[in-house]
Structure 1
């Protein structure tokens, strides 16, 4: 893998930086904190993202970046002759994180997501971020820590760098699995030995049965308590239900009492209001008698007021007509004076028009000559414009001819230079083909060097493994008979166990025989010489002493045999205990022996793998050497390759220059063709110019003569405008004379109308003060009439109010009697709200007691079930122990 270029934007300390890696070794020199390590971090970030750098995403984006700026890193590198470019963009937002990744192969998109780019980079580079950091790159802090660390820590670091730390890890895991398996086997054997202890199982069974009996007694006690708690809860609930029924009756009566009290209060208020209303209406009769006199005059006053209002309206209308007529007379008088002034001005205009007739005739003649010359002016202007366009076009053609000549001369010089460049770059393709061969040879040489290094490392590892295997083999040679020793000891242990069991059974048999002999001797001694034998039922007689002695001798002999058996039993137990201790030591030796065998197998496997790697790397190195020879080279020559690259770079620049010149030189035929066209355009211009000048000469139009005629006409234009204005005013004279007669007639008619209205006003003689006094008196009479009408209406409902008052008093007495009865019923109930609360508290206590009893019952039942299960398990264990015994 060869690095070509690194571009960093807003990455850590770099705002915008690009680094190009040249061939050979690149040194990065700078003070502490200037960003040297950040360059390596940028390479790791480009290849593997945040996982590769091991940094927090909050410290990736540069502190120089703005809120909207994005961190971007691009790395161009070469692997296997292919050009790769990986681009990553990163931005941390408050609510999300932007992380984009793109991978290009030979300028074509290969992958476009973080996951896919990571997978492709892992495939191309051949390692993940951890392996890359451990084998390709070591940070400065890691080296400092390495120098200051202990030997064991340095060993761990080198194992991690070499990628062989997994061997130690896997070995430890495998050993741990072996230890766990052995401990499991030990626990299994310990459990099986415990199952053989019948005496402890019987004791355990007795304890469990006693505990079961106690648990059953406790269950009976708890069941009785549960029954008692349930009965108390039922009694409390019945009492609570009775109290709730009484409370419902009490609440119902209380609501009825509240309704009746509200209705009684309402009825009392309505009765009081009815009595006050009746009294008030009785007082209104006196007021009605006082109003009848004034109210009787209301109709006559109303008619008189209406007649005077009609006369006032007529007077107002006549006065308005008089004012309107006077205003019209004033307006027509002003219009009449204005018309007479305008007629006097028109008389003066008639005299002036007669004096301007000669100037108007001269102006008309000038206008006719100007019109004739202006008819020729468009054609003249068109010809002059054509001449101007021809001159302008000729100037452009002349300029283009000069530019064309210079361009042709310049391009002809470039054509000569192009021919020289084409001769130089003729061998560029052959050189590039040669460079491909050099690139392949360089890659083969690099791969061969790597294979040789790997082979050397494998050879060193094989030597170390051979030493380790030899040491382990020497240790195994002294432990080959451990299995035979363990097998012999286990056989002897089984024999001793069997012997101990036989001795124990024999001891029990002899003890039973001794017990039976003692019982038989005691029965004979009890029977005496005169008694009968308990077995044959014959008289003892003279055989009594002999039989007693024989039984005593047999018992003594059994006691001696029992003592020998006990001694033998003790000796066998001691030998078995010593043998068990020796077996434990042998087991430990076997475990160590197995570990050594496993270690020997592990080293042998690693030795074989390393030997295979060594052979494979040597084969691959020879293959790469053959590949270099197949390319026509004995060895790869970097200096020749560099010289070739320089030559290709120089010729590539010249070819690019030749391509540029070739594009420019291709314009030469077009420029030559353009030159011929320009010559033809000049000839056409000269012919068209001569033709236009001839047409102007034949036309006979003179712009100077036209300007003189227009100046003379302009001098007479003021007289013409005055003449036209006066003629326009004279056209209004007939209309003004007619309007003068009409206005005079209207003034006479309006004067007559004004005199008639003044006569009518004098005839009506309206008195405003009398009209105002009559209106006030009519208003007082109307108010008295309305009040009297209201009083009569109110007095008509007096009897209805009396009847309603009597009905409400009767209803009030009935509701008061009902209220008295309800209060008596409430007192008879004797309800107390605290009794309900006390009943609720009693129920809650009973429910808690019942729940506690049931929980205890459930716990006792579960305990009994558990004890029964334990008893069944112990019974099965006892049965198995007895079967084994």
Structure 2
């Protein structure tokens, strides 16, 4: 695998960074805390997601940002891939919104699926194995050597895929144990089947079945005989029941006929009585007609008509209607006149009231305007006071700028210039601090060499060595840098004070602008209040004059209303006269109504007499019909009396009772026989079931015997498979140990390169032993700090080589990543690390990424990535530089200085 490109947006300190990677050695350098390691962590995060982070997803998002995007392009086994991860903040937490891996023929979506595809399909290592093999993180260079023997064995076995063999061996063992459990169960089951078969065969089931079937045949014959007798008894019972039912029907019909005859005789008598009552009612109505005809003449005289006829009454009513219509028309005219006058009076009174209300409103508004004018005059006085205060403060600010280093309006630009100068001084301080630290390290190293007298590595005298000769120059350089640092810090303090003063001037300048705006506003307010006072007082005077005019108009309107009220009273009196005349006409009409009612009553009585006569004739016809029906019913009753035979019916009842008694007895007998048959059938079924169970048990015994034989064979196979995986793992581990020991010695010899140690041994459990030249064994923990760091780097590189070359050929590996590998190394050991990196390149490692600020590693790089952090925004940027071009530029600068 090779990383090709990394693009970050809002990842940790990076706001927006796009970085290209090439083959060879790439060194990422910059000041401490600038964000170098975050670039490698972003690559690791792109591959494995949250498992690559030391913290949570929230830590990956740039402070203050709501979303993060990480994109990684890489090449693996000749195919190009791209991984995109997008994080989003929602509700106080951060989650993965998008995670996609795209290849030429592959697309994988989802954080878990992408992580599993990278770990299982591409690299065949999870995030932990990646960290143990290819990604030596800052401070973890001693991770393998500090691990317990068991942890170290599991780490290396997992990296070399031997952990799978142990997993397979354990699976085979579990399978063997499982087969043993099943085999034991099956053998026990086979023994139980044998016992069950023997027990059933001892019962002689087929002989018992033949006996039961013979008993069932005899019982069925007896049941058939009793069922025939039962059927004959049922027929006898049904015939007798038919005779009894027929007799009962005849008796019922006779009863019904007697009842109907009695009802008809009663209804005929009732009808004759009703005819007599109708005749009496007709006589009574005729007498009432005679009385009403005698009263009719008196009513006609009272009504003023010549004859008591409908024509005379109609003519009188027509003359009465004409008179009434004329009077009503006169009354309506008089009422309309009263209504018009009353409305006019009400309208005039309302208008007078409205005029007085308007006059009162105008007086009230005039009073309000006078009050508002007084308030406005008070506000005007306050505004003028504030104007004086604003003018006084503005003059004080202008006086302050008289002694300032800049004119008013230039304060903000002056402050920004001071800030830029402070940033330049801060950068110079940081650069001077770095140079001073390097110079002090060189002085301390030279002083230590002088104290020892001989070089601890080569054993040669240090007098006249370049380190000692340059000691005085380095000490002078330290003094110069210290003095320069003091001057820069003094200038920094002065600039901070000047910036503070500039800030105050900017605030004063802003306050002056605010005061100018306030003064303009107050002046506008003054003009408005003066105009408001004058306008309110003039309007109040005008309103009072209008109120006096409205009051006079209201008095004139009230006088006109009083005149209209007099005319309305006269019109009301005329209406009363007309209503009295109409009441007299209503009384005359009532007398005419009485004549009409008498005529209508006589006519109604005549009609009632006709209706009663028709009803009397109808009842006579109904009585005749009922007499005919009565004769028919009496004739049918006589016929039924002749047909009824009481002796035959009694004999039929006795036969029915005898048949029912026999049926009851035969049913009980048949129930008893059915119970016996059910018992026999149940026993037969039970025996047949046992015979079937015996056959099934024999079949199960045959199948189970075959299963036991198969399980015994499978048990032997699982035992053999378990031994095979164990032997293969031991064999492969020994081969890996030999290869790893060889590669470790090669890399350690290159990295250390002295005569103190002869070789390193690695046993089958990955226990490490370092041997001195005199044969003395040492554990890695007994080495010095620098030696132990190189030893661990050698071990990690040897494991990487073994994994890269593979036991049976090349295996997929990621880039070799070293994050601050020199943290425990002194200057001499750094050179050995450079040689180790070059050696790994020689072994065919395609891409090596190193985070370091060490100059020797920088010089050994093919590509440089420079990381810088903006102290103002606290955001980092990364840019790629060609190492050869950079080295040439530095050489030109050095020759120019000479």
Normalising by structure 1, we get a TM-score of: 0.30
Q: Which structure shows the higher helix fraction?
A: 1
Bigger Rg, structure 1 or 2: 1
